């Protein structure tokens, strides 16, 4: 119907977005510098604009209006009028249809066309020029969506941090190769919700699945030109809407909720990898899709020359979370996913940016203080990627209490130790004890260290032991993308080989790395597919690859390594000494009387001089507690087998990476000393509870 046929009332600016109240829809959009805002309504296909309605009221920098005739399912967007003055930070262009930052759903995909840009592409004046073409025909449309939904008796698992084991996965990569899923559901939330998918996660024993970004995002134009896609999704263009590519029925948010409900029924939490540090609009030469055209100067950090962006993300722009309305949007988005969609936590991409004051990081920045006092968000899991690309961006250990952090130094240190690098003993000892030197302050606990050997960014576990160098040629960037510091070792042959000795050593090294991860203090995170040896062919930057290298191979789930990983997780969860809620030291500092000591080959305690030996690749950790059976964890990263003196008593052999055994119920069969094969790990358990004491004290050289 034409604009004149729509009933229009002032409405309210109190709640941003499109809000259906059962009788009509209230529209509210923040813009501090706009001169006029037009609501654009589209027909049921989203292809034809059927009304353009100026929002009648402007209250506290919010434009708003209420339309009794607009119902859920309606397609809409905005056109925002104001100055086009890039030198002053303003880039308004009403010819460009804009996405509502608060839209709960999008319909359709972004189709690249020069009309998406606020300036004339190819003009000698670059972004100072002005493009008058309408972009609506290539833009997704926002969808009016009711908030109400029935959750029934959904019960959040609320797994304690000390018992959490995270599985990092990609929605499509997890399910596209699954024969147990109907074709239309593969690659979607519904596919992830299928019983066979969830059964695999339960078999492993993981307690949380961390999904790579599921917020709405486009495929970058330069990738599509090369026949590639934005596979990972770190390029958000809507913080409330799920990516339509993961839905069977576009705009059907219930599919996401069903997935969450079924994972919760299985005792598995859902953690979302979220990108609140930048958007898909890029730098001054990027498209005008939403925020830039709504209020560029408010949403983004601008440089001293306001034509350009202050970029700490490497993507061209940085969201200005210090702006109270931008902070409100981020907080509203997070609460929406927790309250409306029952998400259990978040992993924040480039989280240092969220605490920035330009060139400095502030753990008391408005965002962190807002989360701390929020009654909803303060109760869910918050995980920081503790770095960004800006000045002083590496901030591991400096995030506020209550936060956990990705520990990349754990990754590099454990890799280097098992690779056989010199001088790694002191560092690896610290990392195995939840990096106490980094995290033990302000009342933080061991779980604050998210330990990982591999993640989506980098080699898989199988490639880590099969390649010395990255092989990213398929990305079309002349192998210049991806990082070069892989701390990997091919064990004699680059890539695939038929040599049985090399294959056996690679398998043992995979067991060593996985066992180290799951037997360390802190919170372990496993990469999707590492449980069965998924390879990316040496590609350590598969962000743009839609093919099988990024898929879980469901035909390999009978691989013995799957059982090895599952048994390790079960063992970890059954031994309190492996999941201590407090940092363990040489003397007990906790009610359980738990402590940890490092041992030399002769059974005596390590002293300062022992740690200084650059050739030390043999070490053992003794974990003890008043009511616990002591655990003796021995590592041999050297090239020769070696014997190790045991504390007094009889011991059970729980884990042996030489034989791939994980046998928690085996009778006590070891005493006196034990022999470790080269490049292997052994975990023993005392026959009786209580502390064990060595009769030896540290002496001279071993």
Q: Which residues are marked as active site?
A: 349, 385
| Residues 588 and 562 sit within 8 Å (Cβ to Cβ) | no
Strand, helix or coil for residue 455: coil
Determine the 3-state secondary structure of 176 from DSSP: coil
* Residue in 225, 193, 234 with CA at minimum distance from that of residue 351: 234
Pairing mode, if any, of strands 449-452 and 523-527? parallel
Q: Encode 607-628: b = buried (16+ Cβ within 10 Å), e = exposed.
A: eeebeeeeebbbbbbbbbbeeb
How far is 98 from 472, CA to CA, in rounded Å? 36
User: Distance of CA 447 to CAs 23, 190, 382, 451, Å?
Assistant: 48, 31, 11, 9
Distance CA 191, CA 174 (A): 9
472 contacts 479 by C-beta, under 8 angstroms: yes
What whole-number distance in Å separates Cα of residue 372 and Cα of residue 384? 14
- CA 475 from chain center: how many Å? 22
Supply the DSSP string of 357-388, one letter for each residue. ETTEE-TTSHHHHHHHH-TTGGGSEEEE----
Contacts of 536 (CB under 8 A, 6+ apart): 459, 460, 463, 542, 545, 549, 550
Torsion, Cα 381 565 417 461, to 10 degrees, reads -90
Q: How far apart are the first and last CA of the chain?
A: 88
Name the nearest CA neighbour of 351 among 455, 449, 278. 278
Residue 72's nearest CA partner among 151, 15, 150, 142 is 142
Contacting residues for 320 by C-beta, under 8 A, at least 6 apart: 298, 299, 300, 301, 326
Reduced to 3 states (helix: H, G, I; strand: E, B; else coil), residue 313 is: coil
Instruction: Return the H-helix or E-strand segment holding 611.
Output: helix 608-611
């Amino acid at each position: 119907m034409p604009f004149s046929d729509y009933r229009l009332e002032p409405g309210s600016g109190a709640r941003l977005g499109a809000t259906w109240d059962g009788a009509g829809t209230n529209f509210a959009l923040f813009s501090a510098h706009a001169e006029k805002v037009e609501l654009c309504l589209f027909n049921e296909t989203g292809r034809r604009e059927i009304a353009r309605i100026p929002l009648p009221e402007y209250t506290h920098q919010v434009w708003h209006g209420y339309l009794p005739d607009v119902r859920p399912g309606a397609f809409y967007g905005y056109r925002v009028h104001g100055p086009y003055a890039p030198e002053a930070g303003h880039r308004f262009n009403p010819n460009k249809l804009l996405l509502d930052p608060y839209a709960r759903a999008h319909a359709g995909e972004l189709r690249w066309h020069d009309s998406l840009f606020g300036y004339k592409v190819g003009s000698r004046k670059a972004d100072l020029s002005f493009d008058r073409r309408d972009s609506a025909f290539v833009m997704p449309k926002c969808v009016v969506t009711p908030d109400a939904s029935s959750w029934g008796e959904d019960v959040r698992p609320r797994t304690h941090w000390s018992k959490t084991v995270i599985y990092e996965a990609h929605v499509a990569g997890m399910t596209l190769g699954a024969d147990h899923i109907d074709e239309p559901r593969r690659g979607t939330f519904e596919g992830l919700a299928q019983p066979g998918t969830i059964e695999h996660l339960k078999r492993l024993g993981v307690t949380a699945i961390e999904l790579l970004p599921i917020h709405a995002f486009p495929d970058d134009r330069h990738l599509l030109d090369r026949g590639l896609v934005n596979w990972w999704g770190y390029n958000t263009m809507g913080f409330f809407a799920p990516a339509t590519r993961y839905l069977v029925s576009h705009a059907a948010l219930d599919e996401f909720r069903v997935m969450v409900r079924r994972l919760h029924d299985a005792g598995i939490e859902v953690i979302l990898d979220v990108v609140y540090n930048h958007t898909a609009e890029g730098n001054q030469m990027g498209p005008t899709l939403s925020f830039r055209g709504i209020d560029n100067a408010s949403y983004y950090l601008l440089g001293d020359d306001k034509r350009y962006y202050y970029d700490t993300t490497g993507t061209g722009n940085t969201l200005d979370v210090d702006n109270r309305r931008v902070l409100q949007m981020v907080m509203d988005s997070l609460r929406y996913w927790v309250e409306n969609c029952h998400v259990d936590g978040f992993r924040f991409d480039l989280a240092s940016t969220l605490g920035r004051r330009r060139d400095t990081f502030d753990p008391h920045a408005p965002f962190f203080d807002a989360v701390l006092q929020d009654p909803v968000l303060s109760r869910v899991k918050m995980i920081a990627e503790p770095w960004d690309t800006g000045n002083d961006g590496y901030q591991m250990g400096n995030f506020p209490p209550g936060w956990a952090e990705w520990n990349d130094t754990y990754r590099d240190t454990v890799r280097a130790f098992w690779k056989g690098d010199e001088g790694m003993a002191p560092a690896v000892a610290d990392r195995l004890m939840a990096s106490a030197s980094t995290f033990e302050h302000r009342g933080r606990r061991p779980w604050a260290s998210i330990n990982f050997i591999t993640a989506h960014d980098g080699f898989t576990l199988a490639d880590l032991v099969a390649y010395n160098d990255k092989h990213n040629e398929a990305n079309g960037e002349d192998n210049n993308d991806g990082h070069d510091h892989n701390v990997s070792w091919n064990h004699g042959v680059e890539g695939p080989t038929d040599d049985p000795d090399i294959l056996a050593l690679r398998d043992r090294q995979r067991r060593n790395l996985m066992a180290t991860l799951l037997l360390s203090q802190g919170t372990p995170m496993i990469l999707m597919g590492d449980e069965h040896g998924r390879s990316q062919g040496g590609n350590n930057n598969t962000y743009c690859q839609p093919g099988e290298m990024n898929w879980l191979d469901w035909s390999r789930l009978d691989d013995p390594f799957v059982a090895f990983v599952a048994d390790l997780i079960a063992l970890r969860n059954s031994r309190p000494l492996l999941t201590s809620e407090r940092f363990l030291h040489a003397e007990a500092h906790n009610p359980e009387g738990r402590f940890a000591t490092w041992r030399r080959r002769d059974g005596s305690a390590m002293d300062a001089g022992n740690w200084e030996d650059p050739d030390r690749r043999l070490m053992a950790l003794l974990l003890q507690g008043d009511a616990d059976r002591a655990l003796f964890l021995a590592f041999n990263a050297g090239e020769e087998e070696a014997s190790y003196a045991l504390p007094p008593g009889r011991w059970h052999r729980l884990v042996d990476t030489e034989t791939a055994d994980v046998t928690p119920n085996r009778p006590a069969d070891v005493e006196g000393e034990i022999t470790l094969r080269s490049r292997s790990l052994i975990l023993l358990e005392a026959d009786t509870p209580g502390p064990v004491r060595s009769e030896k004290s540290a002496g001279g050289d071993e």
